[in-house]
Chains A and B, each alone.
Chain A
């Protein structure tokens, strides 16, 4: 079954003279449990596409279906719920609350969901263990290294046992060794829990390991290649 299906997504910014088409007639169909890489040059519209399919941004025109249902048929509350329950996010920037503890950062989605401190902290520690940062739970988020922060962000993305993880350049600012670990972690989640992965990257080597690569140039899909190489 399709996890996410889009038809003719178009996103434009500005008006008249400054009109800019960031996405142009993008149609994609992502299956449950699939690993999809979105690749393209800087400014090609990768993040824009990811934000729109993750329901963070709305397209200028075109349709999106999640779990076989058009999002126009979801209420605002259901969309909030969907993002809280079924999506996990790794943004291009870390977006950690610098002064809060690592654990508090990781458990934020559960706090928003209204889960009690005891059980959310327990789950937070589990998620941190999964990324190998259990011992940093009490540290301030700000005191971690870049690679550690990225792992915290991933722990936060998987804490709600999401069905889909959206990751924008998850290994972008990591050394190859740490990048490798993150990569393995994401693939493990996909393999063991069947989590759908939608990952934006410009790293060709990483992209090769995905089931499918969607190439974007100037807001248009240029070609899609299938099969991990």
Chain B
């Protein structure tokens, strides 16, 4: 029998018991759908994150902060004299970077510049007489790319107090559209920690930033602005509290892997944790990978169950067609061909199951993309919730067809080994 006839015969055999075949295909379909959808979502999110990661820039910047013991403590921690002051004023109850720390960090090799990253506690912002709004802001780190809709990135060397606002703040704050907002003055009010007096600082809007999942949605300001806000907030406090920061941005002389790794290690030994911006964002990838692994596991279980379905279906088929197999063998069909015939039936089940599963997942993905891009992902341009590149779908199909083939080998072997005369005598 040639391959075309084998496929046609196998197909005709499957069509003979349509309901049984359909049910088996459905079980494969479920597994294929789960896996393909998981891969689709993962690939959608990852490709967005990776495109964003590529855009973040600042490859040579390490964000440094004191390492936090993350083990869950049993009972209160023992008091240590030299660490005491640093944590006192931290809003996060985390150890802070002090001026001493900055000196220590600076003394390391390969370090060009250390800039504090300031997260001021802004009470509210206001444009002219419009309503007051609560926003968050932080230091702009040199070298970071900001996806601008209008204006320019903050200039850390400028004396002007500059702020770049996320796109979706503009209208709310009453600044008009992105273009119109450039150059407008935004009043930022902070409350002094020592005196509880509010103080207002005027900043110039120099840029508008596109919304992105990774840029935390806050505003960013240049050094002049952030220092002004920090002073306003912490004036009157003792120096060690005033000049303590959650993290510092450490610019390296070199952006190559080796420098980054060796500096990380050196800082690690001093008790600091140092991460590149990519490292920080990469955590999202890790979480996504973990979720993916779990979903794929479910898909794999569905496929395992489906494999037993295939085995069962084909065993029944072999049983029912005992005489037919016997006849074909009597007429000189070889064992190998009989094996191939049944294997093709298994592979066809895998083929139809995986094809329909994948097509369904693409369909669901398209609908989900539509819903998402008109809904919660509205402002994230270029973010497709799911994406189905052929390069990942084809292997899924091939793997499922291979699994189907493996499941089919048991019944196929049984058919191949069947004795022609016994099969012909079979009642």
Question: Which residue of B has the minimal Cβ distance to A116?
Answer: B2
Alpha-carbon distance A114/B324, docked complex (angstroms):
18
Q: A76–B424 contact, CB under 8 A?
A: no
On chain A, the residues within 8 Å of B16 by CB distance are 99
Chain B residues with CB under 8 Å of A109's CB are 331-332
Contacts of B242 in A (CB 8 A): none
Do the beta carbons of A84 and B331 come within 8 Å of each other?
Answer: yes
Which A66-108 residues have C-beta < 8 A from chain B? 76-77, 80-85, 87, 89, 91, 93, 95, 97, 99, 108
CB <8 Å contact, A85 and B332: yes
- B-side contacts of A91, CB under 8 Å: 330, 424
Q: Write out the residue numbers on chain A whose beta carbons fall within 8 Å of the beta carbon of B328.
A: 108, 112
Q: State whether B334 touches A80 (Cβ < 8 A).
A: yes
Report whether B324 and A97 are in contact in the complex, using a CB–CB cutoff of 8 Å. yes
A113 interface residue per 8 A CB criterion = yes
1-40 of chain B: CB within 8 A of chain A? 1-2, 5, 9, 16
Interface size on A, residues (CB 8 A): 25
Q: Which residues of B contact A117 (CB under 8 A)?
A: 5
Most buried by A among B5, B16, B324, B330: B330
Q: Is B398 an interface residue (CB 8 A)?
A: no
The reply to whether A112 and B421 contact each other, CB–CB distance below 8 Å, is no
Q: Indicate whether A51 reaches chain B with its CB closer than 8 angstroms.
A: yes
- Chain A residues proximal to chain B, CB less than 8 Å: 51, 56-57, 76-77, 80-85, 87, 89, 91, 93, 95, 97, 99, 108-109, 111-114, 117
In the complex, chain B residues whose CB is within 8 Å of the CB of A82:
332
Top 5 A-B residue pairs of the complex, sorted by shortest distance between their CB atoms: A84-B332, A83-B332, A57-B421, A80-B332, A114-B2
Which residues of A lie under 8 Å from residue B327 when comparing CB positions? 95, 97, 108
Interface residues on B, range: 20 to 34
Interface of B is mostly: helix
User: Which one of B5, B333, B424 contacts A80 once the chains associate, using CB atoms below 8 Å?
Assistant: B333
CB proximity of A59 to chain B, nearest CB, Å? 12
Inter-chain CA distance A77–B331, complex, in Å, is: 12
Residue from A76, A85, A97, A99 having most chain B Cβ neighbours under 10 A: A97
Q: Measured between C-beta atoms, what is the minimum distance from A214 to chain B in Å? A: 20
Q: Is the CB of A111 within 8 A of B332?
A: no
Grouping DSSP codes into helix (H, G, I), strand (E, B) and loop, the A interface class, with mixed when no group exceeds half, is helix
B249 beta carbon closer than 8 Å to chain A: no
Q: Is residue B323 contacting chain A, with contact meaning CB distance below 8 A?
A: yes
Q: Per-residue 0/1 for B329-361: is the Cβ within 8 Å of any A Cβ (1 yes, 0 no)?
A: 011111101000000000000000000000000
Residues of A near B5 (CB, < 8 A) are 111, 114, 117
Partner of B323, one of A87, A95, A99, A113: A95
The answer to whether B424 and A112 touch across the interface, beta carbons within 8 angstroms, is no
Contacting residues, chain B, for A89 (C-beta < 8 A): 330-331
Complex Cα distance, B5 from A81, in Å, reads 18
Q: A189 to chain B: closest CB distance in Å?
A: 18
A85 to B117 alpha-carbon distance, docked (Å):
87
Q: Within the assembled complex, what's the spacing in Å between the Cα atoms of A85 and B333?
A: 11
